[in-house]
Structure 1
Amino acid sequence: MTEKLVPPFTKETALKKVQLAEDNWNSCDPERVSLAYSENSAWRNRDQFFEGREAIRSFLADKWKRELDYKLKKELWAYTDNRISVRFEYEWHDANGKWYRTHGNEQWEFDEDGLMRRRDASLNDYEIDEKDRRIAV
């Protein structure tokens, strides 16, 4: 049986929650990723604001059509009872083969069932040479 990771978080459960999120996002499967969020989850991603699982699935599907060979690494930054903060970086290339690294921070808030009800993400991209990639594929 899989351990249910619900608030209040401990360091151990927060680390597991972050690793699970990393694994899910690296699947590049919008359906799989969306199941970690509540039905009415509210998101801010860069300058986009939206709500709900269907909007999340749509956003992720569009994202992974543009961000090819996506590979992500997340790191626990802080946690409290029902909140987790992470820093992350990921690498990807566009349709022209130009590689990028994206750095960012996310603030997560969870409901009593352990589903993320709020995600607030700030991130920046910059171009890299393929030879300078740091995240294993």
Structure 2
Amino acid sequence: MSSIQPIRPPLPPFTWHTAIQKVRLAEDAWNSRDPEKVSLAYSANSSWRNRNEFLSGREAIVEFMRRKWAKELDYRLIKELWAFHEMRIAVRFAYEWHDDSGNWFRSYGNENWEFDQNGLMHQRLASINDLPITEEERQYRWPLGPRPDGHPSLSDLGL
């Protein structure tokens, strides 16, 4: 059994530039809606609080994401750096999705992240609120996948 830990740049301690890069990499990964791919950014024993759910470990994270994206259809996310310091990053985010009945939502939230020395997130604390919106109120209309370069940020959209 190998004790070599994967490395996930950019590595802490973060600078303004590397914190923004880390946030965009996370956003792009989540917009892939690929649970296995996304889970690789987290340490094997990563702990999460997501709304009222507490998770521990990659397997739990993968299962959580499978459930999430089976419910939250046509998911599109924008994350924005709020603050950073050494091993920690705080982000705010908003994502749009609809349920299987065609009801649209915009979910707003904040996340606090803490990383290990290899750049893997070992703690994620998320607080999230859902706002029902109409299809006409949607602001995220890019094709499924990463947000295109040049698409407005949360601040640009007034969110």
TM exceeding 0.5: yes
Count of residue correspondences:
135
Q: CA deviation at 1:43?
A: 0.1
Q: CA deviation at 1:34?
A: 0.2
Structure with more strand by fraction: 1
Q: Name the CA distance, whole Å, in 1 between partners of 2:94 and 2:25.
A: 16
Q: CA deviation at 1:126?
A: 1.1
Structure 1 residue ranges, 4+ long, deviating more than 4 angstroms after superposition = none
Match for residue 26 of structure 2? Answer: 21
1:134 has 2:102 as partner: no
- Quick one: which amino acid aligns to residue 114 of structure 2? E
TM norm structure 1: 0.97
- Quick one: which amino acid aligns to residue 20 of structure 1? L
Q: Describe how 1:18-97 pairs up with structure 2 within 5 A.
A: 18-97=23-102
TM norm structure 2: 0.84
Q: CA deviation at 1:135?
A: 1.6
List alignment gaps of at least 5 residues for structure 1. none
Which has the greater radius of gyration? Answer: 2
Provide the aligned C-alpha RMSD in A: 0.9
Q: CA deviation at 1:41?
A: 0.2
Q: Name the CA distance, whole Å, in 2 between partners of 1:94 and 1:14.
A: 32
Q: Name the CA distance, whole Å, in 2 between partners of 1:15 and 1:78.
A: 10
Q: Name the CA distance, whole Å, in 2 between partners of 1:4 and 1:32.
A: 15
List alignment gaps of at least 5 residues for structure 2. 1-7, 143-159
1:11 has 2:13 as partner: no
* SS of match in other structure, 2:100: coil
